Amino acid sequence: MINSNKSGVMFSKNPLKNEDEILIEAIFGQSEGIISKTINPDQYTLSKNFEILEEQIADKKLAIVRTSSGQTKTVTLTPEKSTEKVLKTHELKQLAEYALKLEQHYNAPQEIEFSIEDNTIYILQTKPITILKEKSSEPEIEFTRQVITQEMPASTEILPIVPTKTQIKVIIDLPQFASQAAKAKANGVGLVKLEKLITTSGKHPLFYEKENKLEDYKKILKEELEGIADIFIGKPIWVRTSSIRNDEYPNLIGAPKESEKNPMLGNHGIRFSLKHPKILKTELQVIKELADKGHKFGVIFPQIISIEEVKQAKTIFEELKMENVAFGIMIETPAAAILIKDICEIGIDFISFETSNLTQYTLAIDKENEDVQNLYDETCWAVLKQISRVIRECKKQEVETSICGQITSNPKMIEFLIKCGIDSISINTESAHEVSRLIQKLEINSAIEPINNKEEIKKELEEFQKEEEISKQNSLNPEPIEEIENIKEE
C-alpha cells in the first residue's frame, strides 16, 4: 500500500470550462478523503506550457493517514496546516507533464488519480473525462492502470486475498480494470455501477430512449459488462441499475437541461427507472442475456424507499423471465432500512449497504458542505443501529447481506460487521488483501463472538461508540501530524 503524504485527482483538460488547461486537485494524506468528497481540496490550474494560472488554497481541516500498523486514521489538522498549500511548484509541473503524456498516449482528455509518497509520484489510475461541456466523438480506447513512461512508478502491487469465511468482493468501475482486479482473487464483484459504463459513450440513457436507439444502448452495456464477466467466470457479479443524479454528468448528450434544486433527493435510482421502463428493461435484458450464457449475475436496485417500488421491479424481473439472476436492493435510505422486514417477505435474494448515502440521509447532512462536514459520521449510532437491524432481519429470512464504500477501510467497523454476521464485504482492489488479513484474524480470534440479539447488539454499539469517541479525541491533536511533511513553498 502507498503511504501517501499527498494525493489528488487531475484533469488533462479543464472539465469545468472545457478549456485547454490542466486542473489539479490535491489534499494531504490518503486519497480516500478526496474520492469520498469529505475533504475540500486545493485547486490548481496550469497552462499546457506548465504555467500556473490560478491557485485556490482550501481550508482542508482533515486528513486521512496510514498509521504504522497499516490502518487508516482521520486526523484534524492545525489551522496553519489546514490552509497550507499542498503541492510544491515542481510537483505541479511534474504532474501536469504526466497528465499531458497520458492524454497523448490515449488520444483523449484524461481524469487521473495520483498519490505522492516521500517525493515520489504514483499514478494510480486514469480514465476518460466524461463531463466536458461539449462532447465530440471519442475513439475507442484501451485503458490500463500500468504506467506508460519509465519515469512514472507503477501503482500498488495487487496481492491475492487470504481465505476467510466472510466473502471478500471487489468493486469495478470499468472493464479495463477487471484484469487488475482479478489479481486479488476475490470471491466476486460486489458492485458495478452502470452509469460508469454508460458515460464512456458520452450519451445519457435518455438520449437513446428519445432517439429510439435503445438497441445501441444495449450493445454498449453488453460489451462493457461482458468484458468484466469474461474475467470473473463462475463468480457472482452484482450490477447496480443506472442511477445518474441531475448534477452528475450534465454534459452527456441527451442529459436533462433543467437543474434540480436538490439533486441528491431528486429523480434518480429506482424512481427514474420506473418512470422510464424501456431504459430499465434494456439494462435488465443485457444482464439476462449474459446470465443465459452461464455468467452469475445479480441486480441491485438503488434508492428504494417503498415496498411498492420493490414489487414493481420484481414484476418487470418476472416479465423478462430472469429466474437465473439474483434480485437485490441497495440499503441507502432510512426508509429501506425501516421496511426491511416487509421487503424481505416480498422475496429478495440479497441487500447491499451504501453507507455514504445512508449516513447523509439519516443525519440530514451534505458531506460536501464544508460547514457541516464535521458532523458527517458513518459510525454514529443512528447509522450502526440501522445496519445491525437490517443484518439481523435478513439473517432470519435467509437474505444475503453485503456492504460497499469507504467505511470498509475502518478496522473497527469491519469488526462490528463481522460480529453482526455480514456475509460479504466489497472493497477497492488495492485494499482487498489487507482487509482479508484483518477479517481472517478476527474470524479465528476466539474473543470475537457473533452477536445475535438486540441486547448483544446494543452492548456492542455502546462499546463501539466509546472506542470511536476515544479515537476521535486522540485525533484532535493540536500538533502537526508526523505522517504529513511540513511543506515550505519554494
Please tell me which of 37-51, 85-99, 147-161 the model is most confident about, judged by mean pLDDT.
85-99
Task: Report yes or no on 133 lying in a domain.
Answer: no
In this predicted structure, which of 37-41, 58-62, 193-197 has the lowest mean pLDDT? 37-41
- How far apart (Å, rounded) are the C-alpha atoms in residues 3 and 117? 6
Predicted pLDDT of residue 423: 96
Same domain, 174 and 120: no
CATH number at residue 356: 3.20.20.60
290-310: pLDDT as tens digits: 999 999 999 999 999 999 999
Greatest Cα pair distance in the chain: 66
Q: Quick one: pLDDT band at residue 227, thresholds 50, 70, 90?
A: very high
**DSSP string of 335-389, one letter each residue:** HHHHTHHHHHHHH-SEEEEEHHHHHHHHHT--TT-TTTGGG--TTSHHHHHHHHH
CB 44 within 8 A of CB 9: no
**Which tops the pLDDT comparison, 408 or 385?**
385
- How far apart (Å, rounded) are the C-alpha atoms in residues 469 and 459? 16
- How far apart (Å, rounded) are the C-alpha atoms in residues 285 and 278? 10
Q: Which residue has the cell 479465528?
A: 444
Same domain, 199 and 108: no
Task: Report yes or no on 140 lying in a domain.
Answer: no
Same domain, 201 and 335: yes
CB 102 within 8 A of CB 109: no
Task: Report yes or no on 341 lying in a domain.
Answer: yes
Task: Report yes or no on 357 lying in a domain.
Answer: yes
Task: Report yes or no on 213 lying in a domain.
Answer: yes
Residue 149 predicted with pLDDT over 70: no
- Would you call 285 exposed, middle or buried from its count of C-beta atoms within 10 A (0-12, 13-18, 19+)? middle
Task: Report yes or no on 144 lying in a domain.
Answer: no
Q: What is the pTM of this model?
A: 0.72
In this predicted structure, which of 289-298, 371-380, 390-399 has the lowest mean pLDDT? 371-380
- Domain limit, last residue, from 65, 97, 128: 128
- How far apart (Å, rounded) are the C-alpha atoms in residues 461 and 61? 28
Task: Give the number of domains in the chain.
Answer: 2
Residue 387 predicted with pLDDT over 90: yes
Tell me the residue type at 226: E
Same domain, 116 and 174: no
Same domain, 237 and 365: yes
User: Residue 22 belongs to what H/E stretch?
Assistant: strand 21-28
- Domain limit, last residue, from 78, 105, 128: 128
User: What is the domain extent for residue 29?
Assistant: 6-128
Q: For 409-416, which contacts have Cβ atoms below 8 Å and span 24 or more sequence positions? A: 409/32, 409/72, 409/435, 410/72, 410/378, 410/379, 411/71, 411/438, 412/379, 412/464, 412/467, 412/468, 412/471, 413/378, 413/379, 414/438, 414/439, 414/442, 415/442, 415/448, 416/384, 416/460, 416/464
Q: Quick one: pLDDT band at residue 461, thresholds 50, 70, 90?
A: low
- Domain limit, last residue, from 68, 103, 128: 128
Same domain, 52 and 201: no
CATH number at residue 24: 3.30.470.20
Same domain, 115 and 239: no
176-213: pLDDT as tens digits: 889 989 999 999 999 999 988 887 788 999 999 999 99
CB 420 within 8 A of CB 451: yes
Q: What is the side-by-side strand order in the sheet with 6-11? A: 52-56, 42-47, 21-28, 6-11, 110-117, 120-128
Task: Report yes or no on 145 lying in a domain.
Answer: no
**Which tops the pLDDT comparison, 219 or 381?**
219
Phi, psi dihedrals of residue 125, rounded to the nearest 5°: -165, 160
Compute the mean pLDDT over every residue in the chain, rounded to the nearest whole number. Answer: 85
Task: Report yes or no on 483 lying in a domain.
Answer: no
Mean pLDDT within 234-248: 93
Same domain, 103 and 174: no
Same domain, 185 and 73: no
Same domain, 122 and 204: no
In this predicted structure, which of 136-145, 312-321, 452-461 has the lowest mean pLDDT? 136-145
**Which tops the pLDDT comparison, 298 or 379?**
298
Same domain, 257 and 404: yes
Predicted pLDDT of residue 480: 44
Predicted pLDDT of residue 481: 44
Same domain, 45 and 175: no
- How far apart (Å, rounded) are the C-alpha atoms in residues 254 and 267? 15
Residue 47 CA, distance from chain mean position? 30
